[in-house]
């Protein structure tokens, strides 16, 4: 069982997982920080989501799926 699971995990899969976790942390921490200082939930969510999406795109493009 371990051999089959480890053979399915490639560098790209592991990098994809790391980028996803970092994106979640960026989104959550940015939202909580912005909401703490502004009390504007919608604006905080839009800004944090935009930042997380930009980070996610460039991280996957330049690191996760490089050949």
Q: Interior CA angle at 41 toward 60 and 31, to 5°? A: 35
Number of domains present in the structure of the chain: 1
Distance, in Å, from the CA atom of 11 to the CA atom of 25, rounded to the nearest integer, reads 21
Tens digit of each residue's pLDDT (9 = 90 or more) over 3-22: 666 666 788 889 999 999 99
Q: Is residue 1 part of a domain?
A: no
- pTM of structure: 0.83
Tens digit of each residue's pLDDT (9 = 90 or more) over 36-45: 999 999 999 9
Q: What CA dihedral angle connects 36, 42, 45 and 49, to 10 degrees?
A: -150
Q: Which domain holds residue 46?
A: 10-64
Distance, in Å, from the CA atom of 45 to the CA atom of 63, rounded to the nearest integer, reads 26
- The residue among 2 and 60 whose pLDDT is bigger is 60
């Amino acid at each position: 069982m371990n051999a089959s699971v480890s053979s399915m995990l490639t560098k790209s899969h592991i990098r994809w997982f790391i980028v996803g976790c970092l994106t979640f942390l960026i989104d959550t921490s940015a939202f909580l920080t912005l909401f703490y200082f502004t009390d504007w939930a919608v604006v905080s969510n839009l800004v944090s989501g935009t930042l997380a999406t930009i980070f996610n795109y460039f991280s996957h493009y330049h690191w996760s799926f490089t050949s």
